[in-house]
Amino acid sequence: MPFTSLKLKAESGANRIKSADDAYSFLMHMRLSNQNKPHWQAARQALNHAGVSDASEIHAWRTFRAAAAAEGWLLD
């Protein structure tokens, strides 16, 4: 399973994202103003295709991680 666990800061609304399904659910429960930011739109598109192959899931993980980092929500 290529999508490895990510720890997020509390202000993000989540503590840990364990799978592509968790990431997608987190994204869909996010405020619309955040969902419309370009980095979250890219993450949503990548997550929509995460189940196609391992390479797609790795791409989704990287894209989601980059979006969380852009918001300052990623724990080191």
pTM of the model: 0.92
Average the pLDDT over 58-74 and give the result: 95
Cα separation, 58 vs 47, whole angstroms = 10
Instruction: Provide the pLDDT confidence category of residue 1 given band limits of 50, 70 and 90.
Output: low
DSSP conformational letter for 15 = S
Instruction: Provide the pLDDT confidence category of residue 76 given band limits of 50, 70 and 90.
Output: low
pLDDT at 20 over 60: yes
Give the distance, in angstroms, between the CA of residue 54 and the centroid of all CA atoms in the same chain: 16
Residues 25/8, Cβ–Cβ less than 8 Å: no
At 39-60, the pLDDT tens digits run: 999 999 999 999 999 999 999 9
Cα separation, 14 vs 61, whole angstroms = 16
